[in-house]
Structure 1
Amino acid sequence: MTSHAASEQERFAADTEPFRRELVAHCYRMTGSAHDAEDLVQETYLRAWRSYAGFEGRSSVRTWLHTIATNACLTALRSRPARLLPSGLTGPQTSPDRPPSTVAPGEVAWLEPLPDTWTAPTADDPAGAVIARESLRLALIAGLQHLPARQRAIFLLRDVLAFSALETAAVLETTTAAVKSGLQRARARLSEVDPDPEDLLEPSDPRARALLDGYMAAFEHADARLLEQVLRADATLEATPFRDWQAGRAMCLHVLGTYVLGTPGDWRMIGTVANGRPAAAVYRRDPAGTLRADGVVVLDPTAGGVSRVVKFHDPALVAVFGLPDVLGD
């Protein structure tokens, strides 16, 4: 590599790397998938490098990168179904006398959680930390998937990234009138599927950590009484790939106690943070006695207890959080 090429790559990295985490968050909001977001950010940087020599600074580097990333997402989404949670398919389970039913493999594309380590802002940007956390709520991400892809992009560019109507129109190669109309429709639809967020506790709040510890202990000790202390009376529980989900502490406890908790030692959990919420990587003991990755659970903690539990039954997600597939005793 010549010194000129090396210096060009260094200049490209200096110009673009500060925006990588913001781009990961943007692509995740667009797709609802950590895996897809990672791939699309890599594609964004490849496209950006190929066109870097012709970048003349007519827009900021941030706008330029988001233009590339947004259009990469829109292209990818043409051939991909919207990612959902069980609550996006049907109403809560009403019969306690049958086990929750699963969805056939491939019938639904499921939403995925996002590790906070992928998007954590720098220490000198505390305001950014709050904005990023709220814009990555699972309820919001799930709600966004109900929007057509271009409406989703308009909403994210305008209301999350604070692009102007003119900038957004340039990114999407449309008119400001179309942007304003699309934003109005997106806001109206989101107000239907994503209610105003509760006063949720930050993951660093000792009360949030105590709730997570209590939830993990309930599973590790197979103790439904511990779960009763953790869950709020109006708590909801949903888990992929199950079609059914539960509303109300009594129904949640019945399903977990009857079909899930098992015996002490069946489960092990490691605390983490996902989508700005307390979470845990989940391990389950197999018939041979080995603790194997089972998925990730994300909690919504409030001052009155956990209001929502979302469990993602996908062993591959544990590796996304940097944790091993098999856990030693």
Structure 2
Amino acid sequence: MSADMLLEEPAFAGLAERHRRELHVHCYRMLGSFEDAEDTVQETFLRAWRRRETYEGRSTVRAWLYRIATNACLDLLAKCRPEPATGGEVLWLQPYPDRLLDELPAADADEPETMAVARETIELAYVVAVQHLAPRPRAVLILRDVLGWPAKDVADLLGDTVNSVNSALQRARAGMREHLPAERQDWACGEDSGTRELVRRFTDASVATDIAGLTALLRADARSAMPPTPGLHLGRDAVISDWAGDGFEDLGRLRAVATSVNRQPAVAFYLWQEESGAFLPLTIDVLRISGGAITEVFIFHDDRFPVLGLPDHLPADGTK
């Protein structure tokens, strides 16, 4: 698209919408919050419209929008989160629905490495690890390793030198290794029959409020968190103790709906409410599975159900 065409509101609006989902995912990786990413994309489009006359056509409009979005993310981080996450906890973390990830341009099936990067860099383990990086190294990592930008383009965006960008990238990669599972294959989620069976067993044990059954499914080094509620529970015993201490076994009648977020298996749980005569949203459990066991459970509150496209209730007969 020419710079002149970008000045026309219908053309600009159509182009912006074409790139909305991928920009939203980019901002989500940077910020870890679905809602903050939504606000930042809107800010990106507003800045782009106001600055449309500065677009000179030296790069693609897509790259131009990514530059604006990255700077909008850095501005938000400087204002609201000047310090990165610490200790493995990300209290602002929110899940990203797979149904919206499906709107992204399809990765080339002939490039399995590209497809793997697209999947692995949206999983919660990756997003959490990214939040532990300072904002600028975070931007460098995502632009270089996820989007594949040349170092010179990243340097131009950040107003830095190529040497500084390469140095920041090395620091960022080292920081990621501290917070990601030890081996890449441990956090790459597969949709094989073993995974589906483990999710089924987790669902059945949860609906039955069977603590012993859940214990058997967790790896010894499993971890669990429930953002935005503080508390990261490390190790199977700590996870089970937390669940049992929350009165899990006395919850009452539960129903479950299988779903997926961040390219990971997830289960939405509904609790029977007598006064409503229906099962109402309770929590969404997002699982990371490796080595035939559950290694991580992120639990999100019922306010995430609408964004994930989940029913607002399940009737008594179990039909939706």
- Shorter-chain TM-score tier: 0.7 to 0.9
- The residue identity in structure 1 corresponding to 2:223 is T
Deviations 1:217-244 (A, max 9, x none): 2121222343244323432222234544
| 1:71 corresponding residue in structure 2 | 71
| 1:306 corresponding residue in structure 2 | 294
Alignment of 1:154-303 (within 5 A): 154-196=140-182, 197-200=184-187, 202=189, 204-263=191-250, 265-286=252-273, 288=275, 290-303=278-291
Q: CA RMSD in A?
A: 3.0
SS of the aligned residue for 1:171 comes to helix
* 2:132 is the counterpart of 1:146: yes
CA distance in 1, matches of 2:5, 2:188: 48
Q: CA deviation at 1:62?
A: 2.2
Q: List alignment gaps of at least 5 residues for structure 1.
A: 90-107
Alignment of 1:307-322 (within 5 A): 307-312=295-300, 314-322=301-309
Deviations 1:235-274 (A, max 9, x none): 2222234544433334433443453433475333322111
SS of the aligned residue for 1:79 comes to helix
Deviations 1:98-132 (A, max 9, x none): xxxxxxxxxx8431121122222345644554322
Contact 1:301–1:307 at 8 Å: present in 2 too?
A: yes
With over 3 angstroms needed to count, the CA separation of the structure-2 counterparts of 1:229 and 1:323, relative to structure 1, is same
Alignment of 1:3-14 (within 5 A): 8-13=8-13
With over 3 angstroms needed to count, the CA separation of the structure-2 counterparts of 1:131 and 1:18, relative to structure 1, is farther
Q: CA deviation at 1:278?
A: 0.6
SS of the aligned residue for 1:77 comes to helix
Contact 2:217–2:294 at 8 Å: present in 1 too?
A: yes
CA distance in 1, matches of 2:169, 2:70: 16
Q: CA deviation at 1:34?
A: 0.5
- The residue identity in structure 1 corresponding to 2:101 is T
SS of the aligned residue for 2:73 comes to helix
With over 3 angstroms needed to count, the CA separation of the structure-2 counterparts of 1:231 and 1:79, relative to structure 1, is same
Contact 1:298–1:310 at 8 Å: present in 2 too?
A: yes
Q: Give the alignment's TM-score, normalised by structure 2.
A: 0.83
| 1:99 corresponding residue in structure 2 | none
1:137 to 123, 127, 139: 123
Q: Give the alignment's TM-score, normalised by structure 1.
A: 0.81
Q: CA deviation at 1:321?
A: 0.3
SS of the aligned residue for 2:171 comes to helix
Deviates more, 1:199-208 or 1:33-42: 199-208
Contact 1:221–1:265 at 8 Å: present in 2 too?
A: no
Q: CA deviation at 1:10?
A: 4.7
Contact 1:27–1:40 at 8 Å: present in 2 too?
A: yes
CA distance in 1, matches of 2:9, 2:252: 51
* 2:95 is the counterpart of 1:113: yes
CA distance in 1, matches of 2:265, 2:158: 35
Deviates more, 1:213-222 or 1:108-117: 108-117
SS of the aligned residue for 2:154 comes to helix
Identity across matched positions, percent: 38
Q: CA deviation at 1:165?
A: 1.0
With over 3 angstroms needed to count, the CA separation of the structure-2 counterparts of 1:76 and 1:241, relative to structure 1, is closer
Contact 2:91–2:228 at 8 Å: present in 1 too?
A: no
Q: CA deviation at 1:209?
A: 2.2
CA distance in 2, matches of 1:234, 1:123: 35
SS of the aligned residue for 2:145 comes to helix
Q: CA deviation at 1:166?
A: 0.8
SS of the aligned residue for 1:212 comes to helix
Alignment of 1:90-109 (within 5 A): 109=91
SS of the aligned residue for 1:320 comes to coil
SS of the aligned residue for 1:113 comes to coil
CA distance in 1, matches of 2:152, 2:6: 36
- The residue identity in structure 2 corresponding to 1:118 is L
Q: CA deviation at 1:275?
A: 1.5
